[in-house]
Structure 1
Amino acid sequence: MPRPKKWRKVCCMPENASFGPLDNKNKGPDTVIMIVEEFETIRLIDLEGMTQEACATQMNVARTTVQRIYNDARKKLAQSLVEGSVLRIEGGDYKLCTRDERGFGCGKNRKCHHANQTIIHE
C-alpha cells in the first residue's frame, strides 16, 4: 500500500494563473501546466529570497521535496519562455495556510489571494 500523499502548505495563490506570448506565434506545445506548489517554491525562493531549507519549513515538507518541486518549476518556466508556450498555474496537492499561519504570506505590499478572499499585506 503506497504511503499517503503529504499536503504541501501554500500561503499565497497566484494573482494571475495564465501567462503566455503576446505575439501569438506559439510554436511550442500548447500549454505548460505548473502546479500551485511549484509556483509557491518559485515565489518563496526566488522572489522572497528564502533558502530551500526555510522554504521546506514554510511548506511543511522535506528540503529534498522542495528541491525536486523547485527544479520541476524552473524547468517549466524555461520551457514556457524558450518554446513560447502558454504557462498555466493550477492543481496540485496543497492546503492553504490558515490566517494564523500567514506570517510570511505573500510578502509585504502584495495581494494575497487566500481562500477566495483578497488580503493586502502592508
Structure 2
Amino acid sequence: MSRPRKRRCCRRYEGDRVYKPRGIPFRGMRTLVISLDQFEAMRLCDAEALDQEEAGRRMGISRGTIQRLLYSGRKVIIEAMLHNDAIVINLKESEERNAGLHTHQRKCRT
C-alpha cells in the first residue's frame, strides 16, 4: 500500500484554464492536462526564478518532488506545442484535496 499523498500548497489560480493554438477549432482537438501542482512548480522555478529547494519549501514538498513536477509539466507543454494540442489546467483535483483548509493550516509560504 502506498503512502497518502502529501498536501501541496499552490497559489490560487484564476486565469484561463484552457490554452490552444490560434486558428485551429477546439472541436476534435486533442487536449493534454496539466495539474495545478505542475503549473505552480513551473511558475515558481521558471517565472519567479526560484531554485528548486526554495520552490519546494514554498509548496511544502521535497526538491525531488519539484523535479518530478517540472519534468512532467514541461513534457506536457512541449508535446502540446509540437503537436498543436490544447492544454487544460486541472484545478478540480487541487480543490478537492484542499477543500475547507486555510493557508495557515497547510503551512504554505506564499
- TM-score, normalisation: structure 2: 0.79
The AA in structure 1 aligned to 2:50 is M
Range with greater deviation from structure 2 (59-68 or 85-94): 85-94
Mapping of residues 1-122 of structure 1, within 5 Å:
1-24=1-24, 30-90=30-90, 91-93=92-94, 95=98, 98=103, 104=110
Q: Report how far residue 13 of structure 1 moved.
A: 1.3
| Cα distance in structure 1, aligned partners of 2:93 and 2:42 | 15
- Residues 1:52 and 1:14: Cα distance change in structure 2 (over 3 Å): farther
Q: Report the identity percentage.
A: 25
Q: Please list the CA deviations of residues 68-88 of structure 1 after superposition, one character each: whole Å capped at 9, or x if unmatched.
A: 011100000101111100000
What CA distance in whole angstroms lies between the structure 1 residues aligned with 2:88 and 2:42? 14
Consecutive aligned runs of 4 or more in structure 1 exceeding 4 Å deviation = 99-103
Structure 2 distance, partners of 1:67, 1:92, is 20
> Size of the alignment, in residue pairs?
103
Q: In the alignment, which residue of structure 2 is the partner of 1:108?
A: none
Cα distance, 1:23 vs structure 2: 1.6
Relative to total residues, which structure has the larger helix share, 1 or 2?
Answer: 2
Q: Give 5+ residue unaligned stretches, structure 2.
A: none
Q: CA RMSD in A?
A: 2.6
